[in-house]
A = this chain, B = another copy of it.
Amino acid sequence: MNPPCAHIIDDDEAIRDALQWLFKTRDVACATWPSAESFLDAVQPDWRGCAVLDIRMEGMSGLECFDALRARGNQLPVVFITGHGDVPMAVAALKKGAFDFIEKPFNDSDLVDVVMRALETDAVRQRADATRETVEARLALLTAREQEVMELILAGKFNKVIADELNISMRTVEAHRSKVFEKMEVRSAVELAQLVNLVRGRPAA
């Protein structure tokens, strides 16, 4: 798996070099890209780290690059750097989920701190994604009937009640329940609830 890396994307070579130098002095692994297009051409789904984007660039802008990343399902944290105060742009970017917005001139240490926090946030997200994918893979193994039974288990209902609601025998519920536990790799309904809640957010109140 790729190690985490801060991707510096700026059409200004001097800026790229300066940021690369700055990050290296703080032991932050980084790569530079002269344009949004070049980065998007190269970026792989399994890359970890963050992107540091100049918001105004020749060709594709920083915001367009951000939109393109999200459109392809890439969740790398993105830190914007801009030279000109532009409130609607900053607001739009943050509301779309940009990690942070840094205005020039900036304090070098502040930028590096933001980037390091972005890298850590990405590490946490990747671990959460791995867990979610595991759970979703297991959920995908369930037949339609097993899913129905599982939902009623998660609703806290007893087997007898589930049997009544699905108009099947209690033994059938037992059989499905057993299969659900086996496929989800749990040993109790509580374990099942905790596991499924990892990928569903909070259960409905």
Contact = CB atoms under 8 A, between A and B. Distances in A.
A55 to B, nearest CB: 10
Contact of A198 (B87, B198, B202): B202
Contacts of A21: none
A91 B101 contact: yes
Contact of A186 (B85, B156, B198, B202): B156
A87 B88 contact: no
A153 B153 CA distance: 16
Given A153-B190, A156-B194, A202-B197, A88 B103 contact: yes
A187 B156 contact: yes
Say how many copies of this protein the assembly contains. 2
A101 B87 contact: yes
Interface in A9-42: none
A154 B190 contact: yes
Contacts of A87: 82, 85-87, 90, 101, 103
B193 A198 contact: no
Contacts of A153: 190
Interface in A183-205: 186-194, 197-198, 201-203, 205
A197 B197 contact: yes
Interface of A: 82, 85-88, 90-91, 94-95, 100-101, 103, 127-128, 131, 153-156, 158, 186-194, 197-198, 201-203, 205
Given A85-B85, A153-B190, A154-B190, 17 more contacts: A82-B87, A85-B86, A87-B87, A87-B101, A91-B94, A127-B205, A128-B205, A131-B205, A156-B188, A156-B194, A189-B189, A189-B190, A190-B193, A193-B194, A194-B203, A197-B202, A201-B202
Top 8 closest A-B pairs, CB basis? A156-B191, A91-B101, A156-B190, A85-B87, A85-B85, A193-B193, A194-B203, A94-B94
